[in-house]
Amino acid sequence: MKLSAVRLPPVARFIGRRALLAVPTLFGVAVVTFALVHLAPGDPAEAQGGHGRTPLSKRDIEAQRRIYFLDLPLFWNGDPRGVEALEQKLLAALGQGAKGGGDQREQLLKQCGTLCLPALARAQKAGKAGAAKAIDAIRAAHESLGPPAPATRAKWLAAVLPLLAPQALAKLTARAAAASGSDEAPFKQLTARGKAALPGLMEIVLDTNASRALRKHACAAASDVADFDGRLDQGNKDHEVFTAWRAFWYRERRDHVRFSGSERFFGHVTQTQFGRWIGRLLSLQLGVSLRDGRPVTRKIAEALPVTLLLGGLALLLAFALGIPLGVWSARRRGRPLERAASVTMFTLFSLPSFWVAMMLILLFGGVGYLDWFPIYGLASAQHENASGMTWLFDRLHHIVLPVLCLTYLPATLVAQHQREAMLGVLGQDYMRTARAKGLSERAVLWRHGLPNGLLPTITLLGLYVPYVIGGSVIVERIFNLPGMGLLAFEAFQSRDYPVIMAVTLFSALVTIAGLLLSDVLYGVVDPRIRVGAVLDARDSGAAGGAS
């Protein structure tokens, strides 16, 4: 069968096209998030020491800048290189001599470690000022490197440089990778090579097929040579440790490897602030939180289900209450009870969610009057480890008030839109025809009128999804629920940009899913609107135009 003859079902083709349209939307979200980091007042690196926390040192600020890739060009890198760029920075700093820049030289020496020894050896032969002193500094910091240190610097370099050759490091890395879990000798030899051995160690750390014991030795060795503590303990935090190592290597790799030809070719756009930002999103390397050091993906995985539960129940209740109320209001238009209901809905629409939350707590939370519902957290202490129906009822008991806070506003909006849509339907000719056939008023209203009146209301479904997600910020903060809203609030408060980026991305994904759901429901509610018919009409029209 030819591939061109395979035709997907109409709904699948429709969802596929919508998914393709979501790509530029997500790209726009990434651009907005990128602008958020770079256009926000102040330096995002220096901001990590604010809000009552200890001010960061220059070295810590530089490390924070690397987290956001602020040390790279914005959109175009004229000369993308790896270790070579670090070597040039070090040699330029050494050439300053007594003119200043001592802190920069010390920081570069610590950052380079043994990586730049070959370049420093060449610079010493060429008579470069400061090269010999830099070699001695590295020699003092790595006393275990190579055989016992000879009397002269030249003999020491002659003994050490072969140990740092790519071929020697590759053989040693292969030995470490083939070692059993109890054999630490190859890793100790790799550790003695300093930062030059870090690429090989990272291959083992990030190898998902390697045993835990082997990766544990690699993590310990990498922690010894890198300015990063990522050791494995006996707990169940392996995923978090390896996620932190992936984020570290995604950020630091360029200073430990020599770029290949293809990497240099594409590096003009990839080794930039914007390129690395987009690459991080595409590879889901969302990094770790600057607030507590936990992987961002783990925090999102814990918070997203809470918000989806609250938002899903709120939208379900909003449409379940708003649609019948809108139909009832349209049917009894102008009557005193309907006018009173309209005034009540407009009053609810004008009430801010935080005020409604405080009133619900005062009335039903045991603060002032009735003690019906808990007002803190997602579970009771005595039911934290419960299961079955006890677990379910305890969770539902805790989310009653938050769900009400998220429901009342969209319910009033749905009711108003449904009322206006039904008013336009009730006077149509097909409604009078249905009544003339002898159908009951209930059948005319719900069987013929409602499907047509639902279409404008369904359109609003995609618009209510972002409202519920945005409203959860206030509601989850007031009721202290560990959802996306509380996570976003704490991230904005501490300027935790990796978390802000992730929350923005996943909020956009949920909004796109809501829009897709509203489009698919069009064909479910009204038999005259079918996705397949629409797509077939478009395809036939395109074919006719082409012919």
Kindly report, residue by residue over 130-187, the tens digit of the pLDDT.
Answer: 888 888 888 887 777 777 777 788 888 888 888 888 899 999 999 898 887 778 888 8
d(CA 225, CA 218) in angstroms, rounded, equals: 11
| Distances in whole angstroms, Cα of residue 447 to Cα of each of 216, 261, 397, 424, 524 | 66, 68, 36, 16, 14
Alpha-carbon distance of 351 to 269, in angstroms, equals: 49
> pLDDT: is 80 or 107 the higher one?
80
Residue 484 · residue 304 · CB < 8 Å = yes
Region at 370 (left for phi over 0; alpha for psi -120 to 50; beta for the rest): beta
Q: Using one digit for the tens of pLDDT, what is the confidence trace for 180-204?
A: 777 888 888 888 888 899 999 999 9
**In this predicted structure, which of 16-25, 272-281, 404-413 has the lowest mean pLDDT?**
16-25
Most confident of 40-54, 500-514, 532-546: 500-514
pLDDT at residue 257 greater than cutoff 70: yes
Euclidean distance between CA atoms 294 and 392, whole angstroms: 28
Q: May I ask the CATH class of domain 297-535?
A: mainly alpha
Here the tokens at position 26 are 């997500």
- On the question of pLDDT at 56 being above 70, the answer is no
In this predicted model, which residue has the larger pLDDT, 519 or 536? Answer: 519
Q: Which of 465, 456, 462, 435 is nearest to 529 (CA)?
A: 456
Residue 185: how many CB atoms within 10 A of its CB? 11
Which pairs with CB-CB distance under 8 Å and at least 24 residues apart come from 117-126?
117/157, 117/160, 117/161, 117/164, 117/196, 118/161, 118/164, 119/87, 119/90, 119/91, 120/90, 120/91, 121/157, 121/161, 123/91, 123/94
Is the model's pLDDT at 98 over the cut of 60? no
Percent of the chain past pLDDT 90, that is, above it, reads 3
Q: Which of 98-107, 113-122, 293-302 has the lowest mean pLDDT?
A: 98-107
User: For residues 207 and 196, what is the distance between their CA atoms, to the nearest angstrom?
Assistant: 19
SS3 for 365? strand
Q: pLDDT confidence of 264, banded at 50, 70, 90?
A: confident
Which pLDDT does position 323 carry in this prediction?
86
Q: What are the tens digits of pLDDT across the range 332-365?
A: 777 888 788 888 888 887 888 888 888 888 888 7
Opening angle at CA 453, ends 452 and 455, nearest 5? 75
- Cβ-contact 205, 242 below 8 angstroms: yes
Phi, psi of 295 (to 5 degrees): -60, 135
Q: pLDDT higher for 127 or 18?
A: 127
pLDDT given for residue 547 in this prediction: 43
In this prediction, residue 1 carries a pLDDT of 44
- The tokens for 99 are 């003119």
φ, ψ of residue 100 to 5 degrees: the values are 120, -175
Q: Which residue has the higher pLDDT, 456 or 257?
A: 257
Burial classification of residue 253, based on how many CB atoms lie within 10 Å of its CB (0-12 exposed, 13-18 middle, 19 or more buried): middle
Query: In this model, does residue 542 exceed pLDDT 70?
Result: no
Q: What pLDDT, on a 0 to 100 scale, did the predictor assign at position 45?
A: 65
The mean pLDDT value for 497-501 works out to 80
- Report which of 234, 224, 235 is spatially closest to residue 201, judged by C-alpha positions: 224
Q: What was the pLDDT predicted at 201?
A: 92
What's the token pair of residue 400? 């009653």
What mean pLDDT value characterizes the chain? 78
Residue 99 has pLDDT above 60, yes or no: no
Q: Calculate Rg over the CA atoms of the chain.
A: 32
Pairwise CA distance, residues 470 & 412, whole Å:
18
**157 φ/ψ angles, rounded to the nearest 5 degrees:** -65, -40
Over residues 489-509, mean pLDDT:
80
Cα–Cα distance measured from residue 345 to residue 337, given in angstroms and rounded to the nearest whole number = 12
Q: How confident is the model at residue 524 (pLDDT cuts 50, 70, 90)?
A: low
pLDDT value at 537 more than 70? no
Sequence-separated (6 or more) residues with CB below 8 Å from residue 178:
none
CA pair distance 262, 531, nearest whole angstrom = 44
Q: Is the pLDDT of residue 293 over 80?
A: no
**Predicted pLDDT at 532:** 47
* Lowest-confidence segment of 240-254, 352-366, 434-448 by average pLDDT: 434-448
DSSP string, 12-57: HHHHHHHHHHHHHHHHHHHHHHHHHHHHSSS-TTGGGG-TTSPPPP
Tokens for 12? 């699948």
Q: Is the pLDDT of residue 14 over 80?
A: no
CA distance 261 to 268: 12
Is the pLDDT at 263 greater than 60? The verdict is yes
**DSSP for 182-194?**
T--HHHHHHHHTG
pLDDT of 58 above 80 = no
Q: Which of 64-73, 304-313, 333-342 has the highest mean pLDDT?
A: 304-313
- Delimiting residues of CATH 1.10.3720.10 domain(s) in the chain: 297-535
Q: How far is CA 399 from each of CA 244, 321, 389, 477, rounded to the nearest angstrom?
A: 33, 18, 15, 13
pLDDT higher for 535 or 478? 478
Q: Per-residue pLDDT tens for 30-55?
A: 788 788 767 766 666 666 654 445 66
Give the separation between CA 116 and CA 118, rounded to whole angstroms.
6
